[in-house]
Amino acid sequence: MEITIRKAQSEDIPAVRDLVYELAVYENEPDALKADVGHYIQQYQEGLYFCNVAELEGKIVGMTIYYLRFSTWRGKMMHLEDFYIQEKHRRKGIGEQLFEAFIEDSKAQKCNMVIWQVLDWNELAIGFYDKYNAIYDKNWWNCKLYFD
């Protein structure tokens, strides 16, 4: 079983969008996904976000989507928006490879930190992040405004 971790190409984005839908289903929010594949492709080509994919036997089975942010306290940082591996391919080391590629890219872009979110019920993900000594900030609440 050879796993390849690589930067996504524009032609990979439809498969990436499909994985985001799988993630939305996993998180019990399939109707919350509003951006279509055309939007994904356009925004990727414009450089709004970065994307790495995990490929197994020629098929994309996992991905990370991330983008640059600025912290007034820490400076340049990277935000991991989505990180997903298809369920049947979990516990094969794919997650570690994808996460390490995300961290390396963040360091290469001279970020001072990385940031992401994890749902409080997602014990598998929390256990994964524990291995990296992640800091769980329970003092700050996420806030949103939707414009649709």
CATH number at residue 59: 3.40.630.30
Is 132 a residue whose pLDDT tops 90?
A: yes
**pTM higher than 0.85, yes or no?**
yes
Count, residues in the chain: 148
Q: Minimal CA–CA distance to 6: which of 85, 64, 83?
A: 64
144 assigned to some structural domain: no
**Given pLDDT bands bounded at 50, 70 and 90, which one contains residue 135?**
very high
The answer to whether residue 136 is domain-embedded is no
Residue 135 falls inside a structural domain: no
Task: Say if CB 66 and CB 79 are below 8 A apart.
Answer: yes
Of the candidates 8, 1, 90, which has an alpha carbon nearest to the alpha carbon of residue 44? 8
Q: How far is CA 76 from CA 49, 58, 85, 109, 139, in A?
A: 15, 34, 27, 9, 21
The separation between the first and the last C-alpha atoms of the chain, rounded to the nearest angstrom, is 43
Q: Is residue 66 part of a domain?
A: yes
Q: What angle do CA 56, 8, 88 make, to 5 degrees?
A: 30
pLDDT given for residue 148 in this prediction: 76
Please check the confidence at residue 46 and state whether its pLDDT lies above 80: yes
User: How far is 114 from 19, CA to CA, in rounded Å?
Assistant: 22
145 in a structural domain: no
> Is 137 contained in some domain?
no
Looking at residue 141, what is its pLDDT?
A: 87
Residue 85 located in a structural domain = yes
Buried b (16+ CB within 10 A) or exposed e, 30-45: eeeeeeeeeebbeebe
Domains identified in the chain, total number: 1
In a domain, 61, yes or no: yes
Domain interval for residue 114: 3-130
Q: What is the model's pLDDT at position 43? A: 98
C-beta atoms surrounding 74 within 10 Å: 12
